[in-house]
């Protein structure tokens, strides 16, 4: 099951539950952190490694762009959080 964390939780959109279900469908098991920055949510999303020592590298696990696009397509302004 995916984990989605909204910061601050008091500002998550009214459609958050539907978006979380879509995130789970799009990328099962993904860990998502959404941080409100002004009018847009900053997205950081990582899919789980298949195996700790042999799983995909970090860049292969980063699904932030796909999650940001999903949010934007559903009327929730979002962008990818860069390091």
Run means of pLDDT, 10 residues per run, the chain, 83 residues: 93 97 93 96 87 50 95 98 67
Residue indicated by tokens 């847009």: 40
- CB atoms inside a 10 Å sphere around CB 73: 10
**d(Cα 51, Cα 29) in Å, to the nearest integer?**
13
Q: Which two tokens stand for residue 59?
A: 């860049």
The pLDDT of residue 75 is 97
CB 45 within 8 A of CB 64: yes
| Per-residue pLDDT, 53 | 45
């Amino acid at each position: 099951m995916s984990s989605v964390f909204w910061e601050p939780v008091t500002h998550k959109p009214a459609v958050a539950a539907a978006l979380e279900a879509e995130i789970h469908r799009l990328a099962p098991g993904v860990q998502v952190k959404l941080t409100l920055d002004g009018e847009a949510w900053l997205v950081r999303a990582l899919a789980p490694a298949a195996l700790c020592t042999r799983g995909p590298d970090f860049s292969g696990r980063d699904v932030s762009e796909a999650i940001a696009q999903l949010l934007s397509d559903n009327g929730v302004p979002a962008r990818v959080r860069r390091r």
